[in-house]
Structure 1
Amino acid sequence: MAQGSPVGTIDDIFVKIQENQKGVIDEALREQRGSVGRLLSLDHAMKAWEDLLTNEPEGTLIINGRREFGRAIYLACGGHYGAAFAGLRLYLELSFAAIFFSANELKRRKWLADSYDFSWSAALNEADGVLSSDFVGAFNQSAVVDAQSYKAKAAAVYRDCSQFIHGKESSTSTIPSQLVYSQNTLEQWCKLASDAIECVQVLFFSRYGQELLPSDSGSVENTMLETIAHLPSVRKILETPRTENGQ
């Protein structure tokens, strides 16, 4: 600490930030409780996928992705909007990387050894990306048609979040320069977060739905009720009777 600096200044600064953030959270929940509550509910429901896949090689990425989604909700409610958009993009990257590496063991091992970089553009490649007809068809043929529109949705969410990370003026200028509540920014973030988790649900269903569903408990199917139950391929699974062990 520089000579002459008043004792306690650092503590005072962080206490003040904490107090400001509490006020932002209070206002955010007062104004956007429904939207935030829905995202928390969807995040909690996604634990069913996490539990189902935790022992798979890609399980750690799935767990880390969900953790980042929850952290991003907190950051968004606390007024840390730039970090919240960054966290949402990281959630997408980790989730899509998990599915990409689930079918590319060599690349996964090289990535773990820090000799391979995951590419978002490769993951969304039209020919063989994780939502392409070729990829989805290999794992869940019934989901091929339904998965197609989600390539564009995932790309749009990723791009919007990237605008904030890269300091694009048209995006960063909408974020308050101080730690205050912004209704428009939080609404925008909640919309992107809802789209992001819907894309991830489709992604997981496209990769694992044919193999792992219907589940014994039906908990995984319940994660899709609020968001993607309208898709014909998902409806087919939801209407399939569970095994006797799951009754």
Structure 2
Amino acid sequence: MDHIEQATGSNEVDINRVLHLEADLAAWLEALESKPEAIQFQSAHRDFGLAFYAAMSGLYRQAFSTLRSFLEVTVGATFLSSHEFKRRQWVSGKHDISWKEITSTESGLYSAPFLREFCPEAVGEKDEILKHLKQAYRRCSEYIHGNVSTSQLLPTEISYREDITKEWLSVAESALGATIHCLMVRYYKDLSQPMKGIVEGSLEDHFSHLVSVRQLLGLPLEGTRS
């Protein structure tokens, strides 16, 4: 409890940003609850809750590990939703998620061929979003696999480390933002108008600087960037 009080007391602004994104992700999952992959989304969402609790409690390696699981399952389910046979094999345990396949610039979630079919408005920003996605995943992996630099950072007992707590919150914010963007490029155009209404606030809050989002939402394009 002492650790939780220190973590939450020193990082209120960062925590609020993360929880705002998490609430927006929950809105997306509500809009997608009829999809076959909704069970995997909900499971990953629970993982994020566990990761947040671990980070606030000083279980730093576990916090990064579970955050990576959240990212891998959510983005993996999003990608495999466009490959029904592979998705079913994944659910039945006959196919493993491949991060390399998901992030392939030739055929992955942010490849030009994929985006041209699902969200051509986002083709111009694919490199930027893919970079954030890869960076979040890589940083989590460094904590999981005992990278020397991260191993030296971790305390040998449960004790508050503000630098690691702030890094986890930063990586979590990036992971949540990238996840919501993934859901947008895959699903937004397929949603009914009432379901679009559930998620449009999240897009305007976090991505209104992107040309693709302004085009999808019908917002003015002045002062935007790709």
Q: Given the two structures, how large is their TM-score scaled by the length of structure 1?
A: 0.84
Q: Answer yes or no: is 1:146 the counterpart of 2:117.
A: no
| Corresponding residue number in structure 1 for 2:97 | 118
Matches within 5 A, 1:79-158: 79-158=58-137
- In the alignment, the residues of structure 2 paired with residue 113 and residue 216 of structure 1 have an alpha-carbon distance, to the nearest angstrom, of 29
Q: Distance in 2 between matches of 1:78 and 1:225?
A: 32
Q: What CA distance in whole angstroms lies between the structure 1 residues aligned with 2:150 and 2:188?
A: 37
Task: Check 1:122–1:178 CA distance in 2 against 1; reply closer, same or farther (3 A cut).
Answer: same
Runs (5+) with no aligned partner, structure 1: 1-21, 241-247
Q: Which residue of 1 aligns with 2:186?
A: 207
Mapping of 1:1-247 within 5 angstroms? Answer: 22-212=1-191, 215=194, 218-239=197-218
Distance 1:219 1:100 in 2: 22
- 1: distance between equivalents of 2:177 and 2:192? 18
3-state DSSP class of the match of 2:110?
Answer: coil
Aligned-pair distance for 1:238? Answer: 2.9
**Greater C-alpha Rg:** 1
Q: Which runs of 5+ in 2 are unaligned?
A: 220-226
Q: SS state of the match for residue 206, structure 2?
A: coil
Instruction: Tell me the amino acid that sits aligned with residue 54 of structure 2.
Output: L
Q: Taking CA–CA contacts closer than 8 Å with sequence separation of 6 or more, which of the two structures ends up with the larger relative contact order?
A: 2
Per the normalisation by structure 2, the TM-score is 0.91
Q: What code does the residue aligned with 1:94 have?
A: V
Contact 1:27 1:181 in 2 (8 A): yes
Deviations 1:187-241 (A, max 9, x none): 111111111111111111111122227545722011223322211111223336x
> What's the CA shift string for 1:170-203, capped at 9, x where partnerless?
1121111111111100111111111111111111
Task: Please say if residues 41 and 77 of structure 2, whose CA atoms lie closer than 8 Å, have aligned partners that are also in contact.
Answer: yes
- Deviation track 1:118-152 (CA, whole Å, cap 9, x = no partner) reads 10111001101011111111111112212331112
Tell me what 2:222 maps to: none
Structure 2 Cα separation of the partners of residues 92 and 124 of structure 1: 12
**C-alpha contact 1:36 1:73 (8 A) present in aligned 2:** no
Provide the rounded CA distance (Å) in 1 between the counterparts of 2:79 and 2:60.
29
Tell me, yes or no, if the aligned pair for 1:40 and 1:70 is still in contact at 8 Å.
no
Query: How far, CA to CA, are the matches of 2:172 and 2:9 in structure 1?
Result: 19
Distance 2:109 2:210 in 1: 18
1:46 is paired with a residue whose SS is: helix
Distance across 1 between alignment mates of 2:133 and 2:195: 30
Q: Structure 1 112/217 Cα, relative in aligned 2: closer, same or farther at 3 Å?
A: closer
What is the percentage of aligned positions where both structures have the same residue?
30
Q: Which amino acid aligns with 1:52?
A: A
